Amino acid sequence: MSVRKRSWIAPDGKHKEAWVVDYRDQHDDRHIKTFARKKDADAYHAKVAVDVRAGTHTPESNSITIAAAGRLWLDRANRVGLERASAEQYRQHLELHIAPLIGEVRLGRFTLPMVRAFEDRLARDRSPAMVRKVMRSLGAILADAQERGLVAQNVVWNLSRGRRSGGETRADRRRRGKLKVGVDIPPPAEITPSSPT
């Protein structure tokens, strides 16, 4: 694995240079990725080194699109005997919400900021319940792709894990309110003391 500077003269006579990350993945296949800045090349080099050692690196050139991964996920869901209504709902999530907005993005290029931008785009004209369902389906698509070795990490799950802060759980508790006698817990009249045995 190396990071090196590459210089050349363009057809118009201008001097050009770039930074190249040259590496072999866990399958011993050689890959090269070019960056305009050394800082970006070094960051990519560090990330790839960790992923290759863990055996989870997926080169962007070998990566399939989110729409293709979604079709693989749906095929598997249909094979395991999913109910027809659930399978239809998942198909709609993919075809009506995911594929039109991010379907052409390659799994290897899909990042946490892109997930957040997708979620924000969904929230503009879809209900909060629909946004949650579609995000769950997108997470399932990436989980299936991760199991197949098509992507190193599930960035949708990384986003949801990052949201489990204490502040949000306190806000959820405030929103739900206090427990109500007769609704959430039985009233004292319904509670019978147990007889000693």
At 50 the pLDDT is 79
At 58 the pLDDT is 67
At 194 the pLDDT is 64
Burial of 20 (0-12, 13-18, 19+ CB in 10 A): middle
6: closest CA among 41, 30, 46?
A: 41
Q: Which CATH class is domain 66-162?
A: mainly alpha
Mean pLDDT by groups of 10 residues along the chain of 197 residues: 85 89 78 87 84 70 86 88 88 95 89 92 94 94 87 79 55 70 80 67
116: closest CA among 90, 135, 100?
A: 135
3-state SS class at 72: helix
**Torsion angles phi and psi, residue 170, rounded to 5:** -65, -40
At 100 the pLDDT is 95
At 161 the pLDDT is 60
At 103 the pLDDT is 92
Q: Where exactly are the structural domains of the chain? A: 2-57, 66-162
At 61 the pLDDT is 66
At 93 the pLDDT is 95
Residue 147 CA, distance from chain mean position: 13
At 133 the pLDDT is 94
Q: How far apart are CA 127 and CA 97, in angstroms?
A: 12
At 197 the pLDDT is 57
DSSP state of 96: I
Q: How far apart are CA 197 and CA 185, in angstroms?
A: 26
* Contact criterion met (CB below 8 Å) for 107 and 151: yes
